[in-house]
């Protein structure tokens, strides 16, 4: 409900909230937002450092709010915080103190929440009824490979112990949780062992939180580290705190078959948010336009029919792409 212009979620004491399930009781699907870096670059923000789009947390917070708000205006039900590449270790490597680095993670949640409150607070009662009951703020938890900033999230060729993975992720997750995210987004996960460490950390340290889990894949059947996608999904199907499972940051053309493969081994809501069809070179960190790529308008009906419940966009997607998704889901 809206109280004093702010969206407030009412939950019972100690209740673990599965707000995805709540929203899906009333809608055939939810719309996830799109790319942050692409839109920041259009607004003149330099995202070429190891921090990528998280650079804007330091000197362009208003632009982050504007990007989040543009996705809500075009039909998004979920905003993903600008923390995929952001973590305390990287900020400190680049010269910020520990307390300053922690404050930047919290700030990312506050900016997303501000955009949500401003947009939903501006809607009339009739307009509000047409949207999801609970617009969500998902705290982005990118993989260890994103911290390496060398394209490892598309290879999964790094090996840490379970304890090392958890030590790396814990501080960011703790800050996101304390700042009030509705759930975590364990996204672009290329490495089965890392995903396992994250889910165990979620259950051990954040028993009242939920997360979605999306993998980085090299094809329709395989995670980037060589693990079977179906086996990975089946493994996490029993994790009650995983609210949705799927893939992100892959090509549009892969999605339909991926949904079908996942649908066979899980009863959880399936989430997909692919790239826009452009081709990425992880060595040069550049994109090449692909004029032959399909569009969301062409493919979203097929994805819904195949069983997807949450659909959005990843790299290079725009508010207009999210509008195309919203037009079908709404």
Q: Residue 267's pLDDT is what?
A: 96
Domain assignment present for residue 5? The answer is: no
**Known binding site for Zn(2+): residues?**
249, 314-315
270 lies in some domain: yes
| Number of Cα atoms under 13 Å in the Cβ half of residue 201 | 24
Residue 17 lies in a domain: no
Question: What's the distance, CA 208 to chain centroid?
Answer: 19
What residues form DSSP beta bridges with 228?
222
Mind giving me the DSSP string for 197-230? HHHHHHHHH-TT--EEEEE-EEETTEETTS-BHH
So what's the pLDDT on residue 152?
Answer: 92
pLDDT tens for 112-131 read 999 999 999 999 999 999 99
* CATH for 176: 3.20.20.330
Task: Identify the pLDDT of residue 45.
Answer: 85
Q: For position 4, what pLDDT does the model report? A: 44
Classify residue 91: in a domain, yes or no: yes
Q: Looking at the domain assignment, is residue 8 inside a domain?
A: no
- The Cα 323–Cα 114 span in angstroms is 21
What domain count does the chain have? 1
Q: Is the pTM of this model over 0.95?
A: no
What pLDDT sits at residue 283? Answer: 66
Cβ(138)–Cβ(244) below 8 Å:
no
pLDDT of residue 17: 66
Q: Are 142 and 187 in contact (CB under 8 A)?
A: yes
pLDDT at residue 291, rounded to an integer: 67
DSSP string, 29-45: -EEB---SHHHHHHTT-
Among 80, 87, 84, 51, smallest CA distance to 169 is for 87
Does residue 19 form part of some domain? no
What's residue 13's pLDDT?
Answer: 41
* Residue list, annotated binding site: 249, 314-315
Which tokens go with 26? 């009333």
Cα-trace Rg, the chain: 18
Length in residues, the chain? 330
Q: Which two three-digit tokens encode residue 128? A: 């509000």
Q: Phi/psi at 140 (nearest 5 deg)?
A: -70, 125
User: Of all helices (H) and strands (E), which one includes residue 146?
Assistant: helix 144-148
Please say whether the beta carbons of 153 and 190 come within 8 A: yes
| Secondary structure of residue 187 in the 3-state scheme | strand
- Angle formed by the axes of helices 319-329 and 61-73, nearest 10°: 30
Q: DSSP string of 268-324?
A: SPEEEE---S-EEETTTTEEE--TT---HHHHHHHHHHHTEEEE---TT--HHHHHH
Positions of the chain with pLDDT under 50: 1-8, 10-15
DSSP 8-state assignment for residue 6: E
Q: Which domain holds residue 128?
A: 26-329
Q: Does residue 46 fall inside a structural domain? A: yes
Q: Would you say residue 172 lies in a domain?
A: yes
CA proximity to 245, closest of 226, 225, 223: 223
Per the CB < 8 A criterion, the answer to whether 32 and 300 are in contact is no
């Amino acid at each position: 409900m809206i109280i004093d212009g702010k969206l407030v979620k009412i939950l019972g004491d100690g209740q673990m909230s599965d707000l995805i399930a709540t929203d899906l009781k009333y809608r055939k699907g939810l719309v996830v937002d799109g790319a942050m870096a692409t839109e920041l670059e259009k607004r003149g923000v330099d995202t070429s450092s190891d921090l990528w789009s998280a650079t804007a947390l330091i000197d362009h917070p208003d632009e982050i709010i504007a990007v989040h708000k543009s996705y809500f205006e075009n039909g998004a039900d979920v905003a993903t915080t600008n923390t995929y590449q952001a973590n305390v270790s990287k900020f400190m490597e680049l010269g910020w103190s520990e307390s300053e680095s922690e404050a930047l993670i919290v700030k990312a949640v506050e900016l997303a929440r501000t955009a949500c409150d401003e947009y939903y607070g501006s809607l009339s009662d009739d307009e509000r009824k047409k949207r999801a009951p609970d617009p969500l703020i998902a705290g982005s938890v990118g993989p260890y490979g994103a911290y390496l900033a060398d394209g490892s999230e598309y290879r999964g060729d790094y090996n840490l112990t379970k304890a090392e993975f958890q030590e790396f992720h814990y501080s960011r997750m703790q800050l996101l949780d304390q700042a009030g995210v509705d759930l975590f987004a364990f996204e672009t996960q290329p490495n089965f062992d890392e995903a396992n460490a994250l889910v165990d950390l979620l259950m051990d340290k954040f028993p009242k939180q939920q997360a979605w889990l999306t993998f980085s894949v090299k094809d329709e059947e395989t995670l980037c580290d060589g693990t079977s996608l179906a086996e990975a999904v089946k493994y996490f199907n029993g994790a009650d705190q995983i609210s949705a499972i799927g893939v992100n940051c892959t090509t549009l053309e892969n999605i339909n078959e991926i949904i079908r493969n996942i649908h066979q081994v899980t009863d959880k809501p399936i989430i997909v948010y692919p790239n826009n069809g452009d081709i990425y070179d992880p060595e040069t960190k550049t994109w090449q336009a692909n004029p032959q790529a399909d569009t969301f308008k062409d493919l979203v009906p097929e994805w819904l029919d195949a069983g997807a419940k949450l659909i959005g966009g990843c790299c290079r997607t725009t508010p207009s792409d999210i509008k195309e998704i919203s037009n079908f889901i709404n």
